């Protein structure tokens, strides 16, 4: 926590106190910034020249501070008097309540929020640019007319299109992006010990920590605030409660310690479609990968295009569970539900159910076990294994409901089975659950279900698969 101290000038003036070094000579000196525990006195303490208009109770023979006192005894009461006068005029500025500021800016436009951030922090704030649609942040900063800084993390594994995009952005805005690189020794150690693609086997967190999180930490240590392109609609599981401004819960800033860094999220309340409408209207450079179906863009080995019926974040770390799709840069978004967690780690907090078509059958554990035992079914079934909190299940809800309505009366049963929580282990062992959602087809004359292998979850793709296997 930082404390700012301002000392106002006295009503009268003289050269009795020179600059802020409290020197008894006429030469100026640079003040020393003092530290008290974790408190730091921000900015230089400026004291305007003040005359020592002492009260009538004081001796009229006292000379100015820059004159040598005759004895040590005469100096002691003089110093005590000066300190007392200055102490009375010290004004302690309270730390800003960023929760209250977030409430005030909740309905502000991204341009207003950006302008407020740049005005408040000047050269001590920078935009985090990933090479995706957060070029909108740079455009907003440009529109404010204020100077701004941009930095980006070059992991060494980005797509060629992303590097060309960086160059186009620099030329378009006449800026230089401040690139941060991972430590070469750390990267070398990781690759030599675990190979180039260890993240496919043991999760992406270790690689992201080396290539992204630690370089980001170094960048942020030189700032008091940073600006991100996070939006609430990007990931309902981890970003749904992002405020437009907050004290960063994970990283430290220039002054060090918890609470020393502020995070600004100007587009937190903006939907993805509106961001893209803005980019098209302003005719700014965009990453060419977007035209190929990439929405959320990261490193080349960990990013792919999304398909119909998929959520935009499903193109990131697609081999992992829905709750793991943060790299660590915004770890503070993920809330630990320790009080409500069950044995499998999912929250028992009430979540609204999904897939609500009247033509859908809701299967219980007993129901799906009975379905598995039937070797000669009278009709084929298609069943989605889902978790209502999963953003990727939510993304395919509309198409799956439409499929149920389309197949009503056709002789094909459309069903759902909630496979998280207490049913997760069973679903993994008996129902081929890998990640949410998993779609199974139970043909008429087959003893075991067939797993739908594609990630295309639109109605036409699901119907075509059903026609091929039923």
Q: What is the DSSP string of 63-98?
A: PPTTSPPSSHHHHHHHHHHHHHHHHHHEEEEPPP-H
Mean pLDDT calculated for residue range 418-426:
94
Contact 169, 177 (CB under 8 A): yes
Specify the pLDDT at position 235. Answer: 57
Confidence class for position 445, pLDDT limits 50, 70, 90: confident
Q: pLDDT at residue 268 above 90?
A: yes
Task: Please say if the pLDDT value at position 21 is more than 70.
Answer: no
> Rg of the Cα trace of the chain?
31
Residues 232 and 242 sit within 8 Å (Cβ to Cβ): yes
At 459, the pLDDT band (50, 70, 90 cuts) reads very high
Say what the pLDDT of residue 90 is: 52
Least confident interval from 5-19, 85-99, 229-243? 5-19
Its pTM stands at 0.57
Site of tokens 């800003």: 96
pLDDT-wise least confident of 38-42, 197-201, 283-287, 293-297: 38-42
Is the pLDDT confidence value at 109 over 90? yes
How much is the pLDDT for 319?
76
Q: What is the pLDDT of residue 30?
A: 41
Contact between residue 279 and residue 133 where contact means Cβ atoms under 8 Å apart: yes
Q: Could you give phi then psi for residue 409, rounded to 5 degrees?
A: 80, 5
- Residue range 361-469 in CATH 3.40.47.10: no
- Does the structure show a pLDDT above 90 at 406? yes
Residue extent(s) of CATH 3.40.30.10 domains in the chain: 361-469
Whether 423 has a pLDDT exceeding 90, the answer reads yes
Percent of the chain predicted with pLDDT > 90: 52
Does domain 98-333 match CATH 3.40.50.620? yes
Does residue 127 register a pLDDT over 90?
Answer: yes
**Mean of all residue pLDDT scores within the chain:** 78
156 touches 168 (CB < 8 A): no
The per-residue pLDDT for 236 is 53
Q: Where in the chain is the domain with CATH 3.40.50.620?
A: 98-333
Q: Shortest CA distance to 380 belongs to which of 445, 311, 302? A: 445
118 or 239, which is more confident? 118
Side-chain half-sphere of 297: how many Cα atoms within 13 Å? 27
pLDDT at 334 over 50: no
Q: What average pLDDT does the segment 3-30 reach?
A: 38
Q: How does residue 395 score in pLDDT terms, banded at 50, 70 and 90?
A: confident
**For residue 284, pLDDT beyond 70:** yes
pLDDT at 329: 54
Q: Give the whole-angstrom CA distance, residue 235 versus residue 232.
A: 7
pLDDT tens track for 165-213: 999 999 999 999 999 999 999 999 999 999 999 988 888 889 999 999 9
* Active-site residue set: 390, 393
Q: Which of 39-48, 234-243, 357-366 has the highest mean pLDDT?
A: 357-366
Q: Per mean pLDDT, which range of 17-26, 351-360, 371-380 is the poorest?
A: 17-26
Q: Give the rounded percent of residues in the chain with a pLDDT score beyond 70.
A: 72
**pLDDT digits 0-9 by tens, 50-75:** 443 434 444 344 334 344 444 444 44
Is the confidence at residue 306, as pLDDT, over 80? yes
pLDDT at residue 47 tops 50: no
pLDDT value at position 258? 82
């Amino acid at each position: 926590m930082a404390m700012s101290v301002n000392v106002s000038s006295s009503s009268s003036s003289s050269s009795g106190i020179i600059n802020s070094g409290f020197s008894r000579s006429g030469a100026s000196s640079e003040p020393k910034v003092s530290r008290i525990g974790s408190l730091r006195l921000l900015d230089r303490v400026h004291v305007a020249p003040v005359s020592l208009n002492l009260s009538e109770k004081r001796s009229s023979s006292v000379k100015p501070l820059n004159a040598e006192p005759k004895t040590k005894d005469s100096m002691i009461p003089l110093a005590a008097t000066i300190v007392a006068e200055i102490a009375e005029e010290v004004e302690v500025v309270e730390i800003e309540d960023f929760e209250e500021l977030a409430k005030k800016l909740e309905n502000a436009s991204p341009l207003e929020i950006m302008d407020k951030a740049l005005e408040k922090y000047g050269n001590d704030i920078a935009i985090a640019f990933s090479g995706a649609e957060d070029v909108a942040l740079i455009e907003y900063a440009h529109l404010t007319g204020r100077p701004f800084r941009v930095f980006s993390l070059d992991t060494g594994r980005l797509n060629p299109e992303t590097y060309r995009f960086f160059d186009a952005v620099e030329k378009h805005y006449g800026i230089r992006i401040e690139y941060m690189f991972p430590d070469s020794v750390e990267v070398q150690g990781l690759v030599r010990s675990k190979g180039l693609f260890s993240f496919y086997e043991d999760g992406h967190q270790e690689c992201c920590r080396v290539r992204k999180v630690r370089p980001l930490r170094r960048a942020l240590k030189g700032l008091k605030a940073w600006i991100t392109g996070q939006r609430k609609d990007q990931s309902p599981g981890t970003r749904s409660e992002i405020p437009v401004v907050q004290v960063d819960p994970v990283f430290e800033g220039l002054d060090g310690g918890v609470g020393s860094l502020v995070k600004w999220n100007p587009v937190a309340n903006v939907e993805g479609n509106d961001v893209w409408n803005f980019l098209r209207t302003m005719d700014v450079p965009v990453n060419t990968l977007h035209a190929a179906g990439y929405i959320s863009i990261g490193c080349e080995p960990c990013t792919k295009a999304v398909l119909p019926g998929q959520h935009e974040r499903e193109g990131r770390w697609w081999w992992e569970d829905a709750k793991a799709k943060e790299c660590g840069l915004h770890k503070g978004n993920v809330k630990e539900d320790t009080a409500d967690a069950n044995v499998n780690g999912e929250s028992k907090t009430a979540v609204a159910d999904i897939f609500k078509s009247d033509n859908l059958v809701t299967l219980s554990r007993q129901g799906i076990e009975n379905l598995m035992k039937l070797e000669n079914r009278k009709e084929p079934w298609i069943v989605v294994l889902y978790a209502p909190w999963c953003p990727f299940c939510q993304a395919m809800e509309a198409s799956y409901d439409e499929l149920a309505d389309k197949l009503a009366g056709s002789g094909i049963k459309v069903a759902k089975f909630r496979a998280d929580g207490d049913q997760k282990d069973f679903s993994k062992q008996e129902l081929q659950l890998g990640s949410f959602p998993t779609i199974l087809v139970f043909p008429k004359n087959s003893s075991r279900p067939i797993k739908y292998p594609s990630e295309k979850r639109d109605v036409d793709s699901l119907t075509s698969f059903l026609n091929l296997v039923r």
